[in-house]
Amino acid sequence: MEFKQIINRVEQGGLSGDEIASYRNFCAVWLYRFYEEVGNLSAKAAVWMTANRENYKSQAECERAWDATEEGQTLTRKKNTIKGLEHIQEVLTSQHFMLTKELKNT
């Protein structure tokens, strides 16, 4: 399963309860993995900036230098991916509640 498949299926609408549960579980597992990776990269960023701070005129300049490194760019991509996954989770949660409400009304 891929995120694009989930997004396409959500856009089509009419998800079953099982699909919603499966997609939410899939997203939750990946969110956990990405949060763990972001935590590790954030720790590396702190160490890198502490070691390199004296080479820069300001903290902001040091942070920009970190952001320009490969690991800094990876950290940014992972954070953006997390935001996207959180939005997918919100949509799936909303669809779950709508489906539950429909089932109660029948």
pLDDT in tens, 34-80: 999 999 999 999 999 999 999 999 999 999 999 999 999 999 999 99
Q: How many domains does the chain have?
A: 1
CA gap 34, 15 in Å, rounded: 26
Indicate whether 6 belongs to any domain: no
Indicate whether 66 belongs to any domain: yes
* Full domain range(s) for residue 61: 18-105
What proportion of the chain, given as a percentage, has pLDDT over 90?
A: 70
Among 41, 32, 100, smallest CA distance to 76 is for 41
Indicate whether 42 belongs to any domain: yes
